[in-house]
Structure 1
């Protein structure tokens, strides 16, 4: 066949994305093995019944047609209200575009501000799709590591040192996936100052903003001079229990949103109508939001209590989101080897930290997307595995 484009083959140039442990565990679980799946960030419960009912009503009521490219007006209005709440900045509907999940919003943001030959700075650990999404825009990037011993709080001086003349964008994520770190206001003020002084875009992934239970969530969009240079990635997946529905949105200056409407014209051609109607019901009524936030806060604390006192393990970050980050380097410096060993020895699937960038080496990410009894069982198996590794 003819050669594929370098744009496509360069998204994941190594062909390895760090999720090999998860897919091996999933295959074994589907074959009937007793595998505890703590590797993926997908809710173990269904979407709220009210949201599902709204979708069924929309389907049976004839909502089968094209919608406006930036999204249904009522949905954009609802998402503008959520953005106002999330960022503490008054947001208009024309400053919002509906996307196919948070990943669609991230893709749109990178396409909006990066050109081939430009450069981005990505803070590590990061959500696994960040590098490929930047590469898909034809840009290069520098990975700036946050330090585990600092709770994965970014160092503005390290970010400044990574900037180049061709840098166009800094990409951050707070509350962070995978670490659960919630960046402080002081740190975000320093990052905002870099953006203002170097005329940079700041793309802020705030998908987990409703799950920031351990610390105040601060959106950089609210800081002085940042509304016009910040793009906020958001989604209903985590906050409203709608992972498989693929509904997200991007908030930014209205001029950028107008350009991204043109991107929708040649990519998705807009959203699904009956899913959009269900999303309206979810957004306007807050279906599931308080319950989901409370559920994950309880699970996180319960799991950490069950692991308390395990020798050789340190909890890092873990102030928000749906995950717990464990430093297991004293047990096994190679976190990928630890994850494979835990799967083989105790049939528990977790993700090695290196799936999310080099800053998370020596760590594993534990998903809280299981009931408390499963998490307690997983903590017991982790204790047993670590004790065996340490000869105790």
Structure 2
């Protein structure tokens, strides 16, 4: 029998594949590539954290946990959020342990989005945000930030984007891909507008531990914002635990209960050994977090200075582990630049355009690599730029 129709959901048919993967699938087929692409720490998870997972297996802790996660872990998360970011959550009712921050974002979006709701997404941003809104039945309304403002969301932009259908604003600071961090004063202006229009904030704070020039301020810690914020965080970036796939949500009881229902049906619970590892990370791993952050700061300063020296404008990112230099002076689109750089000099970067229209004219470069790799990448990019100048003559 011939199949004469497509059984794929229309929302999925319309969805574009991840623009990040395109270049790294190509890079994987090439020898000698220096990758500045994937947002993954080059540090190995701290030994005591790995040992805690091994110990949990040796003790036979291989069953499901509670859907929301081990209460011991949720208690540690509550302590962590209070001590580090000055916001209080009830472990039993307001915290859910998830399979990475990605799943946390998914259940958050589905828990609050009705068909036709508008969710404001600030670009450049992580590639999954708008698709997750669409999959939840909502409409992503994008706001583009620019290099002139250091890629900071401007209050007047937010005010102008709000309509009667707006349900929530999705924020990510420190930001992927730009590394931009918002100061408390910036967040207060945004919070004023959110409260005025009775909106939710979905705050992706996965890079909160990687804030270099000042401590991270969580928008949930501002007056009147805890009850209207779904906070997303996890262990992948700050604790170098990407492969463990462990994140968490913090939100008021009503919203947490809604997210937990989705989590129960879709995922059951996060990995048990990973949860025991996370308890150890929160109890004894903060010294390693600070050590990694110190090294990232050194790499950040090197990359920003190096790009300026070879002729690429680059703002100083306040957090995460990305720089977002402008390549507009080359006359190439960001995709052309990334593709030619990979083919000619074997350096893998991500074109800024995959992060939204505001990312065109930029490239994302991760400095979660060794200093020797970063130095080699800069040398190759400099050589590539010299060849571009020669072609323009």
Shorter-chain TM range is over 0.9
TM-score of the pair, normalised by structure 2: 0.94
**Equivalents in 2 of 1:74, 1:371: separation in Å?**
35
Cα shift at 1:44: 2.1
1:305 is the counterpart of 2:309? no
State whether residues 86 and 209 of structure 1, in contact with CA within 8 Å, keep that contact through their aligned partners in structure 2: no
Corresponding residue for residue 364 of structure 1: 363
CA offset digits 1:150-193 (Å, max 9, x no partner): 11011111111111211101001100000000012222112111
CA offset digits 1:42-87 (Å, max 9, x no partner): 1223211111111111111101101101110000011112222443
**Equivalents in 2 of 1:209, 1:239: separation in Å?**
8
**Equivalent residue runs for 1:153-302 within 5 Å:** 153-286=152-285, 288-302=288-302
**Equivalents in 1 of 2:213, 2:382: separation in Å?**
25
Corresponding residue for residue 39 of structure 1: 37
1:353 is the counterpart of 2:355? no
**Equivalents in 1 of 2:217, 2:99: separation in Å?**
25
Corresponding residue for residue 58 of structure 1: 56
Cα shift at 1:7: 4.3
Cα shift at 1:333: 3.9
Cα shift at 1:317: 4.6
State whether residues 234 and 246 of structure 2, in contact with CA within 8 Å, keep that contact through their aligned partners in structure 1: yes
**Equivalents in 2 of 1:357, 1:267: separation in Å?**
29
**Equivalents in 2 of 1:350, 1:17: separation in Å?**
11
Cα shift at 1:210: 1.0
**Equivalents in 2 of 1:50, 1:354: separation in Å?**
40
Corresponding residue for residue 341 of structure 2: 342
**Equivalents in 2 of 1:239, 1:146: separation in Å?**
25
Corresponding residue for residue 7 of structure 2: 3
State whether residues 304 and 315 of structure 2, in contact with CA within 8 Å, keep that contact through their aligned partners in structure 1: no
**Equivalents in 2 of 1:105, 1:86: separation in Å?**
20
Count of aligned pairs between the two proteins:
385
**Equivalent residue runs for 1:61-210 within 5 Å:** 61-93=59-91, 94-210=93-209
Cα shift at 1:255: 2.0
2:25 pairs, out of 23, 27, 40, with: 23
Q: 1:154 to 1:333 in 2, by over 3 A?
A: farther
Q: 1:242 to 1:15 in 2, by over 3 A?
A: closer
Q: 1:92 to 1:39 in 2, by over 3 A?
A: same
**Equivalents in 2 of 1:255, 1:6: separation in Å?**
31
TM-score of the pair, normalised by structure 1: 0.94
**Equivalents in 1 of 2:301, 2:132: separation in Å?**
33
Computed over aligned residues only, the root mean square deviation of the Cα atoms, in angstroms, reads: 1.6
State whether residues 335 and 363 of structure 1, in contact with CA within 8 Å, keep that contact through their aligned partners in structure 2: yes
**Secondary structure at 2:304 match in 1:** helix
**Equivalents in 1 of 2:79, 2:332: separation in Å?**
45
**Secondary structure at 1:211 match in 2:** coil
**Secondary structure at 2:171 match in 1:** strand
State whether residues 308 and 314 of structure 2, in contact with CA within 8 Å, keep that contact through their aligned partners in structure 1: no
**Equivalents in 1 of 2:375, 2:203: separation in Å?**
34
Q: Which stretches in structure 2 are left out of the alignment for 5+ residues?
A: none
State whether residues 179 and 317 of structure 1, in contact with CA within 8 Å, keep that contact through their aligned partners in structure 2: no
**Secondary structure at 2:168 match in 1:** strand
Cα shift at 1:15: 4.1
